[in-house]
């Protein structure tokens, strides 16, 4: 007997709506949090840290300027898919005025074709950055819709389970707290930028030494450098860390995302050291050179930025041919469904969302009623066994309908 859902009567896309979130602490913009939160107001080395006035808080240079936004896609049978990401009002405008035309009336199962329509249709101003991040959220809403129509969790539609338990490492300001909470490793942000010279380098070493002593010699300790270093500085920093016996498990995003060739120099200088990157890279095209160069040890795409689940699966397929692990950047349950379906994704990051980084809270704040969070550093895969991404929108979520939010519309011939 033929399943009606797989025939020509499968629901089509009827409507697309967008929302922004009101206030802070809700939705897919990690940095749209209240003042004093470790993510924005603790010493973190960034590309802007070379300027004194932009060093103290990451909000001073606008890391939270866009804010969260959400996409709701309704099918002809009334089923709705929903997803969140970052982009705020500009993202909503792109959905309404550009990408919607590629979606209405289409079969939501055609994720590859829908991605290509949006990606190629925006290539003249996109390829990376905000346009691809917007496409990502649309794509995630499509996968959520498909799962709800089919009554299946997303991970079952992209390959099924490869394990029964998902382990996490924690990114936050206190690795010792991460260890205490049961995480399998911890990642801490580097506080001083390359432009702060030798004194900053010595402070970085002292900072890392303090955390190594706090977690003991064998607990995996990783360092997030947030695109703020350069090749000579990184080589010296890694050398000093080795001399001090700090045993850093990996150095993350030490260079600008555009400095592909710099990683070759780093691996030549430190062939026994793991370097990771990819958080701020976009699409399979952006990852192609990273993968083929074999100069990074782990890829870290963000599924809310890279192009959504559809594009992340392509990146993962390329990486698997090189035995290159893919450990996604944050993204909460969207990443969880991906990781449990992939043999070359050994574990997942949990980005500490509590103000002090010492407790476990939902990644998306109060947006959903039932966002799964790791307990004692892991998650039982059975928790993900709900249709779509398994997230129930909070009826009290601070959503603002973005229909006509910016007022003007582009002219039409």
The predicted model scores a pTM of 0.97
Provide the residue-wise pLDDT of the chain in tens; the chain has 413 residues.
344 455 579 999 999 999 999 999 999 999 999 999 999 999 999 999 999 999 999 999 999 999 999 999 999 999 999 999 999 999 999 999 999 999 999 999 999 999 999 999 999 999 999 999 999 999 999 999 999 999 999 999 999 999 999 999 999 999 999 999 999 999 999 999 999 999 999 999 999 999 999 999 999 999 999 999 999 999 999 999 999 999 999 999 999 999 999 999 999 999 999 999 999 999 999 999 999 999 999 999 999 999 999 999 999 999 999 999 999 999 999 999 999 999 999 999 999 999 999 999 999 999 999 999 999 999 999 999 999 999 999 999 999 999 977 766 665 54
Going by C-alpha positions, the residue among 164, 14, 6 that lies closest to residue 79 is: 14
Phi and psi at residue 65, to the nearest 5°: -65, -30
- Rounded CA-CA distance 284/263 in Å is 19
* Cβ atoms 128, 282 nearer than 8 A: yes
| Region label for 388, one of left (φ > 0), alpha (ψ between -120 and 50) or beta (otherwise) | left
* Cβ atoms 323, 346 nearer than 8 A: no
Is-catalytic flag, 211? no
- Rounded CA-CA distance 331/85 in Å is 9
Angle separating helix axes 260-269 and 231-243, nearest 10 degrees? 30
- Rg from Cα positions in the chain: 21
DSSP annotation of 344: T
Three-class DSSP category at 79: coil
Q: Enter the tokens of residue 136.
A: 């990502």
Catalytic residue among 211, 280, 329, 337: 329
Q: Enter the tokens of residue 14.
A: 């009827």
DSSP letter string, 216-251 = -SSS-EEEE-TT---HHHHHHHHHHHHHTT--EEEE
Going by C-alpha positions, the residue among 276, 268, 329, 273 that lies closest to residue 304 is: 329
């Amino acid at each position: 007997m033929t399943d009606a859902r797989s025939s020509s009567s499968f629901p089509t896309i009827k409507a697309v709506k967008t929302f922004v979130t009101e206030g802070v602490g809700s939705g897919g913009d990690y940095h749209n949090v209240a003042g004093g939160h470790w993510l924005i107001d603790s010493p973190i080395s960034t590309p802007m840290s070379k300027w004194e006035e932009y060093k103290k808080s990451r909000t001073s240079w606008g890391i939270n300027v866009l804010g969260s936004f959400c996409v709701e896609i309704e099918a002809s049978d009334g089923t709705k898919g929903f997803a969140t990401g970052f982009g705020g009002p500009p993202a909503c405008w792109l959905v309404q005025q550009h990408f919607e035309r590629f979606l209405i009336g289409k079969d939501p199962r055609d994720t590859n074709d829908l991605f290509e329509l949006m990606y190629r249709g925006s290539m003249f101003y996109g390829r990376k950055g905000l346009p691809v991040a917007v496409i990502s959220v649309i794509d995630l809403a499509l996968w959520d819709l498909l799962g709800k129509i089919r009554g299946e969790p997303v991970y079952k539609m992209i390959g099924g389970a490869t394990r029964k338990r998902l382990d996490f490492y924690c990114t936050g300001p206190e690795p010792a707290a991460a260890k205490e909470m049961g995480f399998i490793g911890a990642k801490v942000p580097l506080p001083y930028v390359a432009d702060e010279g030798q004194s900053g380098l010595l402070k970085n070493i002292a900072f890392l030494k303090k955390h190594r002593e706090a977690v003991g010699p064998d607990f995996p300790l990783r360092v997030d450098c947030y695109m703020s270093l350069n090749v000579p500085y990184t080589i010296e920093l890694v050398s000093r860390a080795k001399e001090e016996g700090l045993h850093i498990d990996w150095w993350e995003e030490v260079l600008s995302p555009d400095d592909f060739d710099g990683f070759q120099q780093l691996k030549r200088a430190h062939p026994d050291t793991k370097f990771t990157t990819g958080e701020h890279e976009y699409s399979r095209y952006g990852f192609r050179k990273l993968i083929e160069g074999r100069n990074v040890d782990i890829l870290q795409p963000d599924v809310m930025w890279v192009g959504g689940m559809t594009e992340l699966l392509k990146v993962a397929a390329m990486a698997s041919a090189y035995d290159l692990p893919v450990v996604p950047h944050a993204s909460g349950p969207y990443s969880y469904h991906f990781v449990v379906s992939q043999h070359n994704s050994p574990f997942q990051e949990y980005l500490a969302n509590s103000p002090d980084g010492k407790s476990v809270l939902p990644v998306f704040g109060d947006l959903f009623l039932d966002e799964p969070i790791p307990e004692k550093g892991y998650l039982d895969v059975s928790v993900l066994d709900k249709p779509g991404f398994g997230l129930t929108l909070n009826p009290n979520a601070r959503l603002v309908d973005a229909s006509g939010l910016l007022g003007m519309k582009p002219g039409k011939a």
